[in-house]
Structure 1
Amino acid sequence: MQIIAHPDDDLYFMNPLLQRSIAEGSPVATAVLTAGEADGRNSPTDDDKEHAKTPADKPGYTEARHNGLRSAYALMATGNQQAAWRREVVTLGDGAQVERCTLAERPAVQLYFFNLAQNLHGSAKAPDGTGVRMRTLWSGDVPLESTLPGTGAPVTAPQDFSRDRVTACLLDLLKQRRPTVVRTLDPDPEHDPYQPGISLADHIDHTATAQFVLAALRTYTEETGARPVVEHFRGYTSKFWPSNLSAAAKAEKRSYLMPYAGFGAPCPANNCGDYQVRPDPGDSTHLISSAYRYTPATDWLVKDGTGRLNAFAVLGGRVVHWTEQAAGSGSWGEARQLTGDWLMPRLQVGVDRSGRIQLVALRRWAGDKDTVGAEVVRAVQTAPGGEFGAWESLEGPDYGNSDHRVRREIGAPAAAFDADGRLHVFVRNFAHGLSHRQELPGGGFGPWQKLGGSVLQDAVTAFTGHDGAVQVFATDTHGVLRWRQERAGGGFRTERIGIPVPVAGAVTPVESTPGRLTLYYREAGTANVVVYRQESDGVHWPPLPAVLSGHDGTGEIAAARWGSGRNGASSGTAVADRAGSGLLSLLVAAPGTPGIGWAESGGQLVYAPAMAEDSTGRMVAAVIGVDARLHTARQSSPESASPLGPWTTV
Structure 2
Amino acid sequence: MSLASRTRLAALLAAFSVGAAGVTTWAYGYGTERQPAAPEAVVRPSVTEGSALQVVAHPDDDLFFMNPDLSRSISTGIKVTTVYLTSGESDGRNEAHGPHLQDAAGPADHAAYAEARQNGIRGAYAQMATGNRTSAWQRKSVPTAGGGSAEVDVLVARPEVNLVWMQLREARSISGDNPDSLRGLWDGRVTALGAQLTSGTPVKDSFTYTKEQAIAAIADVFAMYRPTTIRTQDPTPGRAAGGGAFLDHQDHMYGARFVQAAADSYARTPDRPHFSVQNYVSYPNSSLPPTLDPRTAEEKLGYLKTYAWMDRQDWCGSPAGCGDRKTATRPAGAGWSQAIRYSRGDGTSWMAEGVAGRLWAFAALDGRMAYWTRSGPEAPWQGPRFLPGSGIDTGATAARLPDGRIAVLATRTTLGTAPQDYGRDVVYAVQSAPDGAFGPWQSLGTPDTADQSGTSAISEPSVSVDPAGRMTVYVRDSGRTLRARAQAAPDAPFGAWQALGGAGLQGDPVTATDASGRRHVYAATAGSVLAWVQPAPDAPLAGPYPTGLPQTTGALSAGPEGDGVRLYFRRPGTGAVGTTLATAAAGGGGGAPQFSPVADAGGRAGYGAVGIAGRLLAGRAGAGTVSTAGAEGPDPQSWQESRMLYTGAPAAVAESAGTAFAAVLGLDAELHVTPPAPAGPAPLGSRPPGPWHRAVPSTAGQPPR
TM-score (norm 2): 0.84
Q: 1:632 to 1:51 in 2, by over 3 A?
A: same
How many residue pairs match? The answer is 626
Alpha-carbon deviation of 1:619?
Answer: 2.2
Equivalent position of 1:209 in the other structure: 255
Q: Percent identity?
A: 34
Deviates more, 1:410-419 or 1:10-19: 410-419
Equivalent position of 2:619 in the other structure: 577
Equivalent position of 2:325 in the other structure: 275
Measured in 2, the distance between the counterparts of 1:256 and 1:617 equals 46
Equivalent position of 2:277 in the other structure: 230
Measured in 1, the distance between the counterparts of 2:531 and 2:232 equals 32
Amino acid at match of 2:243: G
Contact 2:228 2:276 in 1 (8 A): yes
Out of 199, 210, 220, the residue aligned to residue 266 of structure 2 is: 220
Equivalent position of 1:608 in the other structure: 649
Deviates more, 1:331-340 or 1:350-359: 331-340
Equivalent position of 1:8 in the other structure: 60
Equivalent position of 1:124 in the other structure: none
Q: 1:535 to 1:395 in 2, by over 3 A?
A: closer
Alpha-carbon deviation of 1:595?
Answer: 8.6
Out of 498, 503, 509, the residue aligned to residue 454 of structure 1 is: 503
1:111-161, Cα deviation, whole Å (9 max, x unpaired) = 0111111589xxxxxxx9624111101111101221122111111222112
Contact 1:469 1:484 in 2 (8 A): yes
Q: Aligned-pair RMSD on alpha carbons?
A: 2.6
Equivalent position of 1:98 in the other structure: 150
Equivalent position of 2:423 in the other structure: 373
Gaps of 5+ in 2: 1-52, 587-591, 697-705
1:484-538, Cα deviation, whole Å (9 max, x unpaired) = 112222111114353442111232122221x222211011232221011247988
1:75 matched to 2:122? The reply is: no
Mapping of 1:181-330 within 5 angstroms?
Answer: 181-193=229-241, 196-224=242-270, 226-263=273-310, 266-267=313-314, 269=319, 271-324=321-374, 326-329=375-378
Q: 1:65 to 1:407 in 2, by over 3 A?
A: closer
Q: 1:450 to 1:101 in 2, by over 3 A?
A: same
Alpha-carbon deviation of 1:420?
Answer: 2.2
Q: Secondary structure at the match of 2:649?
A: strand
Out of 74, 87, 97, the residue aligned to residue 35 of structure 1 is: 87
1:384 matched to 2:437? The reply is: no
Measured in 2, the distance between the counterparts of 1:391 and 1:67 equals 47
Out of 474, 484, 488, the residue aligned to residue 436 of structure 1 is: 484
Alpha-carbon deviation of 1:50?
Answer: 5.8
Equivalent position of 1:545 in the other structure: 598
Equivalent position of 1:644 in the other structure: 689
Equivalent position of 2:180 in the other structure: 132
Alpha-carbon deviation of 1:226?
Answer: 4.3
Q: Secondary structure at the match of 1:554?
A: coil
Equivalent position of 1:395 in the other structure: 445
Equivalent position of 1:619 in the other structure: 660
Equivalent position of 2:494 in the other structure: 445
Contact 1:435 1:450 in 2 (8 A): yes
Equivalent position of 1:587 in the other structure: 629
Contact 1:500 1:544 in 2 (8 A): no
Contact 1:350 1:416 in 2 (8 A): yes
Q: Secondary structure at the match of 1:397?
A: coil
Measured in 1, the distance between the counterparts of 2:467 and 2:307 equals 56
Q: 1:243 to 1:596 in 2, by over 3 A?
A: closer
1:332 matched to 2:381? The reply is: yes
Equivalent position of 2:516 in the other structure: 467
Contact 2:619 2:628 in 1 (8 A): yes
Contact 1:328 1:614 in 2 (8 A): no
Alpha-carbon deviation of 1:16?
Answer: 0.3
Alpha-carbon deviation of 1:264?
Answer: 5.2
Contact 1:41 1:51 in 2 (8 A): no
Equivalent position of 1:570 in the other structure: none
Gaps of 5+ in 1: 121-127, 562-572
Equivalent position of 2:106 in the other structure: 54
TM-score (norm 1): 0.91
Q: Secondary structure at the match of 1:136?
A: helix
Equivalent position of 2:200 in the other structure: 152
Higher relative contact order (CA 8 A, sep 6+): 2
Contact 1:230 1:345 in 2 (8 A): yes
Contact 2:463 2:473 in 1 (8 A): yes
